[in-house]
Amino acid sequence: MADVIFSDVQKRFGSFVAVQNLNLDIRQGEFVSLLGPSGCGKTTTLRMLAGLEFPTSGEIRIGERVVNDVAPGDRDIAMVFQSYALYPHMSVGQNIAYPLKKRRVPKAERARMVARTAEMLQLTALLDRKPKQLSGGQQQRVALGRALVRDPKVFLLDEPLSNLDAKLRGYMRAELVELHQRLGRTMVYVTHDQLEAMTMSDRIAIMEGGALQQFAPPQEVYRAPANRFVAGFIGTPGMNLIDGALARDGNTWRFEAPALQLEARGLGPDARPGEACLGIRPEALTLGSGALRGVVQLVEQTGHENIVVLRVGEDLRLTGRAPGHTIWKPGETIPFAIDADAAHYFAAGPAGARLNARRSGPHESGDAISITNNMREAHQ
Amino acid sequence: MTIRKIAFNLFAWTIVLMVAFPLFWMLVTSVKPQSELFRRPPTIMPESWTFEHYWRLLSDTGFLRYFTNSVILSSATTLIVVAIATLGAYSLVRYRYRGRETLAFLVLFTYLLPSVVLILPLYLLLVGLGLSNTILSLVIAYTTFALPYALWLLRSFMAGIPEDLESAALVDGASRLGAFWDIILPQLLPGIISTALFTFILSWNEYLYALVLVNSDSARPLTTGVMNMLITSFNIEWSLLMAASVMMSVPLIIAFAFLQSYLTSGFGAGGVKG
Ligand SMILES: Nc1ncnc2c1ncn2[C@@H]1O[C@H](COP(=O)(O)OP(=O)(O)OP(=O)(O)O)[C@@H](O)[C@H]1O
Ligand SMILES: [Mg+2]
């Protein structure tokens, strides 16, 4: 059952289009991330859902109800702000109780609910403090508590972890996932951190320049990026993107770039001869053996593995991963191979659409665990 | 202590003494008997203390009435100015409408004209309204010059309150007015207090408008009242004048003493990160 629906939602500030033709439909109980670079319209989307910003056109539904004209307080949502937005003059307890107070919950019941929420978030000892007397992580928990104390239909979270240090962020990420499982509520989570989005979400909505690029589960976003933008945005280190051209030779296709030729497999019906872009994940590069040759430019050691940047031909740079025990030095020429079955093809242009055929081959139905593991290692 | 520090301290204390001495002299003169006033060399501390001037001030002159008038006048002006300026600042900061910036700027325009230029039209206007020689006429006049500045002062305070706080309150179920009352006003308190103090002092010390607009003892405030009191007497009684001056300063000193912690320390700052 759909819980939150955006139909053709557009938001303009003057002549500037912050969100264009957004269509999203979020299922009940789903954890959805809005992911994208800074300024892509994530917060604007969330604020429209909260009722703090009016869409210029289009319709937003929560449950069965069109909420375009419903005040924020009547939408049955709770929101955690990127800035936490704790009321500075109120104690922690008063902050958490505020939404209940505004909904006329009787005092005794209010106290009981605040106590329960505080216990869940380990805030009981801090209830009498003012927000400024708390650490960042504690403030974050209070902001969460203010949202959790009620039982709203949808939770909206705007980069709630971005102010925390790496360790606390990892911890809170796990807490949030567990909370989501326990409550079973729909959550819309804004982040610009792809690791957060990959590890926590059921589905990720990737945005760029106010437009939705892809809305799919994490593994699909990783295995079958819908366009060149998504391909380059998801994954650390990023996918190698090589501009070149597709050429057809009877039933077989070839991809040709100045420094690289490759038999192009698995192309879909949209493929046309002409300019195109080849995408290869670093792990689809086999280093140390193969018919191709490259000069090592840079080796980044992460301990467990080495990130190797190769120069191929005049000015093509390829990034690959190799086990941590490899000992290549910059300047060395090494052999390598490209797994042609794992190649992605995109139409020319910065947001060129994916040209691969839809299929679930060995490289498109991997497990999410290994993807996020790969990403986590690269992240640290 | 370095030479620099000593020099700096000397400098600072010289200035403090220069500012404080007239105040001290005012206080001392007001408690000296008449006979001691013009003695040479002057006595720093009075040889005999007397409160006769204060007693005379309260019983023989119109001081008490002027004082009451001033309190009513300044309080009313402050209340009106702060109320209008708070709402105006909220509108200027939170709502987006055409000409918002121009409006804010135009408000300051009144300061480009000297008050002497404004005072005659204002006088005619107030006479036309049948308000001449009333406290209300002064309240209106003072509001015209205190409001623009108060509006700008509060506007900058208001702009310092994160919009997210209000958004959070709206999501938490507050109405726009409720959010204003629960969240904005408490955050604005230091700004409101500074603005109120500023307006109060301005009204309390105002002379020119009071001189031109009010010509009856029933509505005269302290500034013109005390001058009037002295001019009508035969020779100027310095002790009486000093006693009046001390009494005039007292309310301001009390207000400052009580509110200075609000003025200096930010109130609840740091509740929002990022
Ligand atoms: N009130 C506003 N008036 C004009 N432009 C705005 C307004 N709010 C946002 N924008 C613009 O809309 C675009 C999207 O903003 P938004 O805050 O949604 O970005 P975001 O994806 O949340 O970015 P970030 O990750 O930096 O928070 C930005 O280019 C921003 O400048
Ligand atoms: Mg944002």
The CA-atom distances, in angstroms, between A296 and each of A6, A320, A325, A358, B48 are 48, 10, 16, 35, 98
User: Does B171 contact A86 at a Cβ distance shorter than 8 Å?
Assistant: no
Query: How buried is A165 (Cβ within 10 angstroms: 0-12 exposed, 13-18 middle, 19+ buried)?
Result: exposed
Domain boundary residue, one of A165, A198, A223: A223
Q: Which three-class secondary structure string do you get for A165-179?
A: CHHHHHHHHHHHHHH
| Residue A373, H or E segment | helix A368-379
CA A40 to ligand 2 center in whole angstroms:
8
Q: Tell me the best of A17, A19, A33, A40 to mutate to test the pocket of ligand 1, counting ligand atoms within 8 Å of each CB and taking the most.
A: A40
What is the Cα Rg of chain A in Å? 24
Total count of residues recorded for chain B: 274
Token pair recorded at residue B271: 């509740």
Interface check for B94 against chain A (CB to CB < 8 A): the answer is no
User: Does A81 contact B269 at a Cβ distance shorter than 8 Å?
Assistant: no
Name the pTM for this structure: 0.82
Nearest CA to ligand 1 atom 31: A39
My answer on whether A206 and A115 are in the same domain is yes
- A373 — phi, psi (to 5°)? -65, -45
From B174, which residue of chain A is nearest by alpha-carbon distance? Answer: A102
Is the Cβ atom of A41 under 6 angstroms away from ligand 1? Answer: yes
From A156, which residue of chain B is nearest by alpha-carbon distance? Answer: B171
Structural domain includes residue A231 = no
Per-residue pLDDT of chain A (380 residues), as tens digits, is 568 999 999 999 999 999 999 999 999 999 999 999 999 999 999 999 999 999 999 999 998 899 999 999 999 999 999 999 999 999 999 999 999 999 999 999 999 999 999 998 889 999 999 999 999 889 989 999 999 999 899 999 999 888 778 888 888 899 899 999 998 999 999 999 999 999 999 999 999 999 999 999 999 999 999 999 999 999 989 999 999 999 998 888 999 998 889 999 889 888 889 999 999 999 999 999 999 999 999 999 988 899 999 999 888 999 999 998 888 999 999 999 999 999 999 999 888 999 998 754 444 444 444 555 555 544 44
Token pair recorded at residue B228: 């009037």
Chain B CB contacts of A98 below 8 Å: 169, 172, 182
From B167, which residue of chain A is nearest by alpha-carbon distance? Answer: A52
pLDDT 10s digits, A139-177: 989 999 999 999 899 999 999 888 778 888 888 899 899
Range with the lowest mean pLDDT among A28-42, B46-60, B168-182? B46-60
My answer on whether A264 and A202 are in the same domain is no
Structural domain includes residue A229 = no
Is the Cβ atom of A46 under 6 angstroms away from ligand 1? Answer: no
My answer on whether A203 and A309 are in the same domain is no
Strand A31-35 to A203-208 pairing: parallel
Token pair recorded at residue A152: 């709203």
Q: Which amino acid is at A88?
A: P
Strand A203-208 to A186-191 pairing: unpaired
CA A48 to ligand 1 center in whole angstroms:
12
pLDDT at B263: 67
d(CA B49, CA B28): 9
Domain boundary residue, one of A165, A200, A223: A223
My answer on whether A178 and A275 are in the same domain is no
Share of chain B above pLDDT 90, in %: 53
Structural domain includes residue A91 = yes
Q: How many domains does chain A have?
A: 2
CA A168 to ligand 2 center in whole angstroms:
21
Token pair recorded at residue B256: 């400052």
Structural domain includes residue A172 = yes
My answer on whether A300 and A209 are in the same domain is no
Is the Cβ atom of A230 under 6 angstroms away from ligand 1? Answer: no
User: Does B268 contact A102 at a Cβ distance shorter than 8 Å?
Assistant: no
CA A141 to ligand 2 center in whole angstroms:
19
Interface check for B172 against chain A (CB to CB < 8 A): the answer is yes
Q: Which amino acid is at B226?
A: V
Ligand minimally distant from the alpha carbon of residue A42: 1
pLDDT 10s digits, B85-133: 999 999 999 988 888 888 888 888 877 888 888 888 999 999 999 998 9
Report DSSP state, residue A244: E
My answer on whether A210 and A245 are in the same domain is no
Strand A203-208 to A211-216 pairing: antiparallel
Structural domain includes residue A86 = yes
Structural domain includes residue A230 = no
My answer on whether A338 and A269 are in the same domain is yes
Burial A47-80 (b: 16+ CB within 10 A, else e): bbbbbbbebeebebbbbeeebeeeebbebbbbbb
- Of the two residues A364 and B37, the one the predictor is more confident about is B37
Mutation pick from A67, A81, A91 vs chain B, by most beta carbons of B within 10 Å, is A81
Interface check for A134 against chain B (CB to CB < 8 A): the answer is no
Structural domain includes residue A350 = yes
d(CA B255, CA A103): 39
d(CA B70, CA B63): 10
From B178, which residue of chain A is nearest by alpha-carbon distance? Answer: A102
Nearest CA to ligand 1 atom 11: A18
Q: Which amino acid is at A143?
A: A
From B162, which residue of chain A is nearest by alpha-carbon distance? Answer: A85
pLDDT 10s digits, B187-218: 999 899 989 998 999 999 999 999 999 999 89
Chain A CB contacts of B186 below 8 Å: 89
Residue window 336-355, chain A: list those with CB within 8 Å of chain B. none
Structural domain includes residue A228 = no
Query: Who contacts B42 (Cβ-Cβ below 8 Å, separation ≥6)?
Result: none
My answer on whether A148 and A261 are in the same domain is no
**Residue found by looking up tokens 């106290």 in the block:** A111
CA A347: distance to chain centroid? 23
CA A372 to ligand 2 center in whole angstroms:
24
d(CA A65, CA A46): 17
d(CA A99, CA A104): 9
Q: Is the CB of residue A212 less than 8 Å from the CB of residue A23?
A: yes
Identify the bridge partners of residue A59 per DSSP, sorted by sequence position. Answer: A7
Interface check for A116 against chain B (CB to CB < 8 A): the answer is no
d(CA A88, CA A130): 7
> Binning pLDDT at 50, 70 and 90, where does residue B255 land?
confident
Average pLDDT, chain B: 88
d(CA A272, CA A215): 25
Token pair recorded at residue A127: 């209830």
pLDDT at A307: 94
Chain A CB contacts of B165 below 8 Å: 85, 87-88
Q: What is the CATH number of the domain that holds A334?
A: 2.40.50.140
From A50, which residue of chain B is nearest by alpha-carbon distance? Answer: B171
My answer on whether A171 and A248 are in the same domain is no
Distance from CA of A282 to the nearest CA of B (A): 35
Q: Which atom of ligand 1 is nearest to the CA of B96?
A: 1
Q: How many CB atoms are located within 10 Å of the residue A257 CB? A: 17
Identify the bridge partners of residue A338 per DSSP, sorted by sequence position. Answer: A285
Q: Which amino acid is at A342?
A: A
Distance from CA of A368 to the nearest CA of B (A): 32
Domain that holds residue A52: 4-223
Ligand minimally distant from the alpha carbon of residue A53: 1
My answer on whether A209 and A245 are in the same domain is no
> Binning pLDDT at 50, 70 and 90, where does residue B60 land?
confident
- CATH of the domain spanning B64-264, picked from 3.40.190.10, 3.30.365.10, 1.10.150.250, 1.10.3720.10: 1.10.3720.10
CA B6: distance to chain centroid? 36
My answer on whether A353 and A258 are in the same domain is yes
Q: What is the CATH number of the domain that holds A84?
A: 3.40.50.300
Distance from CA of A150 to the nearest CA of B (A): 10
d(CA A165, CA A162): 8
Total count of residues recorded for chain A: 380
Distance from CA of B200 to the nearest CA of A (A): 26
My answer on whether A252 and A109 are in the same domain is no
Interface check for A279 against chain B (CB to CB < 8 A): the answer is no
Ligand minimally distant from the alpha carbon of residue A45: 1
Query: For the packed helices A136-148 and A107-120, what is the interaxial angle rounded to 10 degrees?
Result: 130
Interface check for B182 against chain A (CB to CB < 8 A): the answer is yes
User: Does A79 contact B169 at a Cβ distance shorter than 8 Å?
Assistant: no
Domain boundaries, chain B: 18-50, 64-264
Q: Which amino acid is at A207?
A: M
d(CA B180, CA B230): 49
Q: Is the CB of residue B35 less than 8 Å from the CB of residue B47?
A: no
Distance from CA of B166 to the nearest CA of A (A): 8
User: Does B173 contact A99 at a Cβ distance shorter than 8 Å?
Assistant: yes
CA B272 to ligand 2 center in whole angstroms:
15
Domain boundary residue, one of A223, A248, A265: A223
